[in-house]
C-alpha cells in the first residue's frame, strides 16, 4: 500500500515529497533500536534486580510475592503490573526481568518446586545463564525475600511468562 508523502511527512513532522518522505521513514525504521535495546528498558543499570537483592531477608508490605515486584517496579518508576502482566513479554530470561509462574511444578534431581495447585508466583530474575535462573522472590515458603535457583529446562507442568519492565 502506498502512503501519500503528506501523511508520512505529518507523521515525522516535516514536509517532503513522496520519495523523500519514504526515504526518511525507511532511515528511521533502519535506525530504530530493537525491542531489547536500552531505550525500551527501564532497568538499564539492573536497578530492579539490585533493589530486590537489597531486600533479602526482609518482608516487603504484606509479604506476598507480588509486593516485592510492585515495590521494585515503583523504585524505578516503571509501569506497574496488572493482572499478573508485568511489562512487555519476552522469551529470554535476563537479570531484572520478571517471571510469572502459573500452576507450575518443576521436577529436579532433588525434588520439586512450584506454585500451589492452580496458583501463581511472581519473581525477579537476579541472574540467568541459559535456562538456569536465580530468582529473588518473596513468599516462597516464608513471607520474606529469598533467593532460589531453578532451571527452566527441568521437566515441569503449568506455564511461565517472562516480562521486561517498561516505562509508564
Using DSSP's 3-state secondary structure scheme, residue 134 falls into strand
Task: State phi, psi for 31 to the nearest 5 degrees.
Answer: -85, -10
CA distances from 46 to 51, 65, 90, 95, 159 (A): 9, 19, 17, 7, 25
- What is the enclosing helix (H) or strand (E) of 150? strand 145-151
18-73 pLDDT, tens digit each: 565 455 444 444 444 444 444 455 566 799 999 999 999 999 999 999 999 999 99
For 85, which DSSP code? B
Q: Give the pLDDT band (50/70/90) at residue 85.
A: very high
pLDDT at 167: 85
pLDDT at 40: 53
110-157 pLDDT, tens digit each: 899 999 888 999 999 999 999 999 999 999 999 999 999 999 999 999
**Contact between 34 and 158 (Cβ < 8 Å):** no
**Contact between 2 and 126 (Cβ < 8 Å):** no
Mean pLDDT over all residues of the chain?
82
119-131 pLDDT, tens digit each: 999 999 999 999 9
Task: Enter the pTM of the model.
Answer: 0.76
Residue of 56, 41, 154 lying closest to 97 (CA atoms): 41
Q: Is the pLDDT of residue 6 over 80?
A: no
Question: Phi-psi region for residue 16, left (φ > 0), alpha (ψ -120 to 50) or beta?
Answer: beta
Question: Phi-psi region for residue 10, left (φ > 0), alpha (ψ -120 to 50) or beta?
Answer: alpha
Amino acid at each position: 500500500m502506498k502512503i501519500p508523502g503528506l501523511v508520512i511527512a505529518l507523521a515525522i513532522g516535516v514536509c517532503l515529497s513522496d520519495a523523500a518522505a519514504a526515504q526518511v521513514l525507511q532511515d528511521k525504521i533502519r535506525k530504530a533500536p530493537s525491542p531489547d535495546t536500552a531505550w525500551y528498558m527501564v532497568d538499564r543499570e539492573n536497578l530492579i534486580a539490585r533493589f530486590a537483592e537489597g531486600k533479602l531477608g526482609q518482608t516487603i508490605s504484606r509479604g506476598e510475592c507480588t509486593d516485592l515486584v510492585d515495590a521494585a517496579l515503583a523504585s524505578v518508576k516503571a509501569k506497574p503490573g496488572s493482572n499478573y502482566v508485568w511489562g512487555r513479554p519476552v522469551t529470554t530470561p535476563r537479570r531484572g526481568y520478571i517471571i510469572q509462574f502459573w500452576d507450575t511444578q518443576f521436577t529436579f534431581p532433588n525434588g520439586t518446586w512450584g506454585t500451589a495447585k492452580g496458583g501463581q508466583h511472581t519473581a525477579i530474575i537476579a541472574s540467568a545463564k541459559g535456562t538456569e535462573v536465580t530468582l529473588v522472590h518473596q513468599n516462597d515458603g516464608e513471607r520474606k525475600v529469598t533467593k532460589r535457583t531453578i532451571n527452566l529446562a527441568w521437566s515441569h507442568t503449568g506455564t511461565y511468562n517472562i516480562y521486561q519492565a517498561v516505562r509508564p
